[in-house]
Amino acid sequence: MVCVAVNGKPMLGVIHKPFSEYTAWAMVDGGSNVKARSSYNEKTPRIVVSRSHSGMVKQVALQTFGNQTTIIPAGGAGYKVLALLDVPDKSQEKADLYIHVTYIKKWDICAGNAILKALGGHMTTLSGEEISYTGSDGIEGGLLASIRMNHQALVRKLPDLEKTGHK
């Protein structure tokens, strides 16, 4: 993955899947070779989550969206962002949301954030704050990534993990 951030804002992202030889890229106000899918399910979403750093994300997702919600454990922040998009790689799983509830390094999410931003999507902290790629090397508050959904409504729907102790 490669990301260019300008003044803390992700502007260019590249995610390469070496085994499928697929590369996705997008630049804010500059084009892309990838696009959003035509539809997403906000009611009972398929949610991609970290396989190795899940925290309480499965419980939070089921509590928030109901028992019909599908949880997809996966490795790699880039892979999880690609799961939200329309990619030609047939082996790529498809999800409606990407939720992460534990600490995550900014270098691991910048490229995906830039691609989502270029396509009109969002990647924020779970409390809805934009992620700045300056200062600290990670974010404590987890993240929510979506595209073609009401992102702020999704943020409001999630429980306050700081207060509930679900981190």
pLDDT of 86-117, one tens digit each? Answer: 999 888 999 999 999 889 999 999 999 999 99
Stretch among 24-28, 63-67, 75-79 having the lowest mean pLDDT: 63-67
Rounded mean pLDDT, 65-77: 93
Reported confidence tier of residue 163, pLDDT bands at 50, 70, 90: very low
Q: What is the band of 165 on the pLDDT scale with cuts at 50, 70, 90? A: very low
| CB burial string 14-52: b at 16+ within 10 A, e below | bbebeeeebebbbbbeeebebeeeeebeeeebbbbbbee
Q: What percent of the chain has pLDDT over 70?
A: 95
The verdict on whether residue 108 carries a ligand-binding annotation is yes
pTM of the model: 0.93
Answer whether residue 7 shows pLDDT above 80.
Answer: yes
123 close to 13: Cβ distance less than 8 angstroms:
no
Q: Residue 162: is its pLDDT beyond 70?
A: no
Task: Kindly list the domain boundaries of the chain, sorted by start residue.
Answer: 2-157
pLDDT of residue 5: 98
In DSSP terms, 86 is beta-bridged to 35
pLDDT at 71 exceeding the cut of 80: yes
The pLDDT value recorded for residue 56 is: 85
Q: What is the mean pLDDT of residues 10-34?
A: 95
Q: Does domain 2-157 have CATH number 2.40.160.20?
A: no
Q: Which sign, positive or negative, has the C-alpha torsion 57, 159, 115, 111?
A: negative
Confidence at residue 105, expressed as pLDDT on a 0 to 100 scale: 96
Calculate mean pLDDT across residues 32-51.
Answer: 95
Is pLDDT above 50 for 167?
Answer: no
Given a contact cutoff of 8 angstroms between Cβ atoms, the answer to whether 133 and 3 are in contact is yes
